Amino acid sequence: MTAYIDKIGQFEGQEVTLRGWLHKRRSSGKIHFLTVRDGTGFIQVVMSKAAVGEETFHRADHLGQETSLIVEGTVRADPRAPGGYEIDVDTLNVVGESRDYPITPKEHGVDYLLDRRHLWIRSPRQQAILRIRHVVVDAVRDFLNSRSFTLADTPIFTPAACEGTTTLFPVQYFDNETAYLAQSGQLYNEANIMALGRVYCFGPTFRAEKSKTRRHLTEFWMVEPEMAFATLNDAIELGEALVVAIIARVLETRRQELETLERDTTSLERVQAPFPRITYDEAVETLKAKGQPFKWGSDFGGTDETVLAEQFDQPFAVHRFPSALKAFYMKPDPDRPELSLSVDILAPEGYGEIIGGGERLDDLDELLARIKKHGLSQKTFEWYLDLRRYGTVPHSGFGMGIERVLTWICGLEHLREAIPYPRTLNRLYP
RNA sequence: UCCUCAGUAGCUCAAUUGGCAGAGCAUUCGGCUGUUAACCGAAGGGUUGUAGGUUCGAGUCCUACCUGAGGAGCCA
């Protein structure tokens, strides 16, 4: 009977076949302790010379870390085992040898590990992160699907900048025209809601910023919901509910992984809607009161975000940023046109911005003026302008960075651990 | 692009004021029937990132370059 470690308790007292990899080996003269992992968990396999005989026992003398193997043995409950069970082995077969595995139980540097990311993901900590990532993605999709959102994927090759400010990756392939890798599905989402009402796109996003910080990747995953007939407030409420749903699902199903990561979950337990909300103006006042040198009209730096986050013990929303700070499609506040109907949701504990969005400009003439003012080509945006010509409606949405959310949930030091194969300024391998 | 820091054994690091280049882990060999970062004993393992310079003598000081990290700007 083939068994998997996460469900091994069902087989107590029974003979099972376990297929996996040798994680670690400890040995005495007449007993081997093999920690085996099979992709679902870790378990200690005990091999005594008396039970298996001289030949099998000596075959296990030199098993290297990460040797793939098939063991047959009896499941036994043991209070000494971290998972509650051990396996007393009868037979052991090596599937693939492994000599001089480069990632040892000792600590390694970041660059060394990233060069071996294809192996690093085998370690317990990285497995835990990737499992939680899966649950986050799953929770996002379930949440949006259950609220009548339709997944409508947006293109990766795009003809121009969605947001003029950031840098794009050019691709030379299409005749007479440079294509760029998408940095947002935003504009296409706006077309899609006019067909489907509520939509989201969920895929990789590319930013050619020369960012060298623990908060940036050049390729990252973003979910972007967009709603027709929706205000800034609707977008904030959706964002809150989404974050709450993700945290609840992770706490519900991935306790063990959070423990592996030694994540103190008390701050996650506190997360509930509604989040504290402050205006940009209030945020500036707070920063000044806390002695930060900050001028109205500039964007928050990393330190500013941390100082603001210290005021709250859960995620919080900052809304109504100056229009000059935000993309051309952001709708101005009717009461104060110098402000935009925009929102950022920031994670607590200094993890920074996880959501950015707002209400979109739905008036044709105003949008035309913005495009001119930003020096963008009207021709490129004709299709986007059509959305204002044929039955425009107020609409809102946001983007949420999956790795940023995961970094916060897992309490990671670096964003690059939150994605299987991180792409940063200087990294394209493996 | 700018600022700061780092680069020594396969890995993580040490090396006092410029004076014999070392430890732990990993590997190999030996020992051990309850280990779980196992332990005990032994062995092998080095062009100190690269190229110059100062000096009787450079891992250490100087110059340039390479690579990486953290941060700024920008953003999710």
Q: Which nucleotides of B are covered by protein (CB under 7 A)?
A: 1-2, 10-13, 24-29, 31-39, 67-76
* Model confidence band, residue A270 (pLDDT cutoffs 50, 70, 90): very high
Classify strands A352-359 and A395-401 as parallel, antiparallel or unpaired. Answer: antiparallel
The rounded percent of chain A whose pLDDT value lies above 70 is: 98
Give the least confident one: A44-48, A106-110, A372-376, A386-390. Answer: A106-110
Give, in Å, how far the C1' of B28 lies from the CA of A416.
36
pLDDT in the model for residue A168: 82
Give the distance, in angstroms, between residue A253 CA and nucleotide B64 C1'. Answer: 56
Please give the residue that has the higher pLDDT: either A407 or A171.
A407
The residues of A between 79 and 118 with beta carbon within 7 Å of nucleic strand B are 80-82, 86, 99-100, 102, 104-112, 114
Q: Given 3-state DSSP classes, what are the helix, strand and coil percentages for chain A, each rounded to the nearest 5? A: 35, 25, 40
User: What's the rounded mean pLDDT across residues A259-287?
Assistant: 92
What's the burial of A367, exposed, middle or buried (CB within 10 Å: 0-12/13-18/19+)?
buried
CA–CA distance, A86 with A51 (Å, rounded to integer):
15
* Residue A154: per-residue pLDDT: 95
Please tell me the predicted confidence (pLDDT) of residue A399.
95
Distance between the two ends of chain A, CA-based, in angstroms?
Answer: 37
A64 touches strand B (CB under 7 A): yes
Query: In the structure encoding, which two tokens stand for residue A28, read together?
Result: 């005495």
pLDDT band at A165 (very low <50, low <70, confident <90, very high): very low
Count of CB atoms situated within 10 Å of the CB of A263:
20
Quote the pLDDT of residue A280.
94
Percentage of chain A beyond pLDDT 90 is 59
pLDDT attached to residue A209? 79
Give the dihedral sign, CA A77/A81/A85/A87: negative
Higher pLDDT, A4 or A52: A4
Q: Which residue has the higher pLDDT, A161 or A351?
A: A351
Q: Over 70: is that where the pLDDT of A166 sits?
A: no
Give me the interface pTM, i.e. the ipTM: 0.85
**The CATH fold of domain A117-418:** BirA Bifunctional Protein; domain 2 (3.30.930)
Distance CA A286, CA A277 (A): 13
Give dist(CA A427, CA A430) in Å, integer: 8
Whether A223 and A210 have beta carbons less than 8 Å apart is answered as: no
Q: Once rounded to an integer, what is the mean pLDDT over residues A349-378?
A: 90
Please name every residue paired with A345 in a beta bridge, in sequence order, or none if there are none: A317, A355
Q: Is the CB atom of residue A74 positioned under 7 angstroms from any atom of strand B?
A: no
Burial A95-132 (b: 16+ CB within 10 A, else e): eeeeeeeeeeeeeeeeeebbbbbeebebbebbbbbbbb
A58 touches strand B (CB under 7 A): no
Comparing A424 with A145, which gets the higher pLDDT? A145
Distance (Å, rounded) from C-alpha A160 to C-alpha A187? 11
CA-closest candidate to residue A242, choices A411, A393, A397: A397
Q: Is the CB of A49 under 7 A from strand B?
A: yes
Could you tell me the distance in Å between the CA of residue A235 and the C1' of nucleotide B5?
42
**The listed CATH number (3.30.1330.10, 2.40.50.140, 3.30.420.40, 3.20.20.70) that belongs to domain A5-96:** 2.40.50.140
Region A210-228: what's the mean pLDDT? Answer: 90
A415 phi/psi in degrees, rounded to 5 = -60, -30
- Evaluate whether A36 touches A43 at the Cβ level (below 8 Å): yes
Given this model, what pLDDT does residue A212 score?
79
- Using alpha carbons, list the distances in angstroms from residue A424 to A209, A354, A418: 10, 19, 13
Q: In this structure, are strands A277-279 and A316-319 parallel, antiparallel, or unpaired?
A: parallel
Per the prediction, chain A carries an average pLDDT of 90
Domain boundaries, chain A: 5-96, 117-418
Mean pLDDT in residue range A125-133: 93
Whole-number Å distance between alpha carbons of A7 and A19: 14
Main-chain dihedrals φ then ψ at residue A90, nearest 5 degrees: -105, -50
Nearest residue by alpha-carbon distance to C1' of B68? A111
